[in-house]
Amino acid sequence: MPHELEVIQNQFTYVAEKLLHDEAHLFDAMHDKDVLLKELHHRVKNNLQLISSIISMQMRRTRNQVTAAALKTVNQRVTSMATVHQTLYQASELGQVQANDLLRDVVRPLTELAPTTAPVPKIDITLDPVVLYPDQAVPLALLTVEAATNALKYLGVDKAGNRWVRVSLKTIEDGRVCLMISNSTNDETDFEDEGTGLGSQLIRGFARQLECSPEITEGEDSYAISVTFDTLPFDSEDTGKTGIEDED
């Protein structure tokens, strides 16, 4: 019996050491992947900032106001994409993104696009805490940029004499999330190109990545676009997950 116990103990020790070795190897691999992904996001951010600088230089040189306005819109899109990658680069866990913080970071710079003529527009941002995988957080942020840009573009004075833009992110039942961007309008607001423009096409494309469709609600003096989608649940074993699946 003592010999049999010794054999069992030796076998147990061997298995325990092998498990510890495999676990350490797995953590090293996860750390290496995190480092590589952070470096990827960092380089993408730097490249986008370089593109933004080139566009800004061209904006200062052009004398055509229409061209300058178009370049400004493009530059805002590039800057917003750079902000998304910067947020991912700075995240403590690449597999889990605080979506509300990300949306706040990309929406705040857009307030500079608001018309400065009276009445000064009021911009309300109400965001519930929502944690998403990057696969959902990135298209959600880019969709928000396009929808908020459109809201500022078609801003009008409501019946109360106010101009406003509201961005809200709400959690609802069964792990669903609703993003809504609305703005004040009036009879003079021209939506002629709103449904066919590049911004609207991008919104539909980002919504497809979230496996949903944008919904439009028009009031007498308001316009709103919203998307409601199912969030991917986090498992207890998903620590360090990046949202990018490995292929065998």
Q: Could you give the maximum distance between any two Cα atoms of the chain, in Å?
A: 94
- At 230 the pLDDT is 95
What is the C-alpha to C-alpha distance for residues 163 and 125, in angstroms, rounded to an integer? 15
What pLDDT is attached to residue 200?
84
Q: Give me the pLDDT at residue 29, please.
A: 60
CATH class of domain segment(s) 95-234: alpha beta
Q: Which two tokens stand for residue 184?
A: 């004040």
| pLDDT at res. 228 | 97
Confidence at residue 144, expressed as pLDDT on a 0 to 100 scale: 93
Quick one: which of 202, 200, 140 has its CA closest to 169? 140
Q: Which amino acid is at 244?
A: I
Instruction: Going residue by residue through the chain, which has 248 residues, state the pLDDT in tens, using 9 for 90 and above.
Output: 566 666 666 766 766 676 666 666 665 665 566 777 777 777 888 888 888 898 888 888 888 888 888 888 788 878 888 888 887 777 666 678 889 998 998 888 777 766 666 677 888 999 999 999 888 998 999 899 889 988 988 888 899 989 999 999 999 988 899 999 999 998 776 655 555 577 888 899 999 999 999 999 998 899 999 999 999 887 655 544 444 344 33
Specify the pLDDT at position 248.
37
**Which sequence spans correspond to the domains of the chain?**
1-94, 95-234
Q: What is the pLDDT of residue 209?
A: 92
d(CA 49, CA 84): 12
**pTM over the 0.85 mark:** no
